[in-house]
Amino acid sequence: MSTVKSKKLQVGTDASASNNFTIYQPATPDGTLRIGVGNADSPTEVGQFNANGYKPTALYAFSAYRTSNQSISANTTTKIAFDTEDFDTDNVYDSTTNYRFQPSVSGYYQVNLQISWTGAGTTQGQGRIQKNGSLYTYVYTPGSGFGYSNTLSQVMYFNGTTDYIEAYARNSSNEAVVADQGCRFSAFLISQA
């Protein structure tokens, strides 16, 4: 049995480094096998394998919430201003101006929306996701007399350049969406495409 002790293995011999891949171990071994794009002398890491399996270099995800109640006029579709981010790993959620998620990596994303309403009557509420300015999906919940909420979860494709989504709300009376934990908007990459 022979052993090859090499810290870098380049796959591909194209003159353009972006067409080559390199499998390598870090300078100080730490139990991981790295995968990089580029030639063996200077690859850019895109992921690694360790005892737990594959781990991408970057996680594409965001989570945002409201810091105060937002009034929604009766029968008026209104964008929800999710103004505070729990996290935004790729700086692709705008929490100050457009309140939209526009990922820079193409693929399939799990999108989540939760809206809790202040009203406790017999009103009707909707949580909506609009993609590129048009209604994509919504959830409708009638009031229960004890307050109510809308929860929506959807897998969506984004092209990584122009596609974006925004969260909207609509109800049948003048109510407000609740701040903090009762009103959240989030997404994360499931698979690149």
Q: Could you tell me the fold of the domain covering 61-192? A: Jelly Rolls (2.60.120)
For residue 52, what pLDDT is reported?
81
* Beta strands, E only, 38-133: 44-50, 53-56, 61-66, 70-72, 78-79, 84-88, 100-101, 107-116, 124-131
For residue 110, what pLDDT is reported?
97
**For the chain, which residues make up each domain, given as ranges?**
8-56, 61-192
For residue 129, what pLDDT is reported?
97
Q: Cβ neighbours of residue 8 under 8 Å, at least 6 residues apart? A: 22, 23, 24, 25, 40, 43
For residue 1, what pLDDT is reported?
45
pLDDT, averaged in runs of 10, over the chain (193 residues): 62 77 81 82 81 77 93 89 94 96 94 84 80 94 68 95 95 75 89 83
For residue 59, what pLDDT is reported?
79
Sign of CA dihedral 49, 53, 56, 59: negative
Strands 124-131 and 53-56, sheet pairing:
unpaired
For residue 42, what pLDDT is reported?
80
For residue 80, what pLDDT is reported?
95
For residue 30, what pLDDT is reported?
83
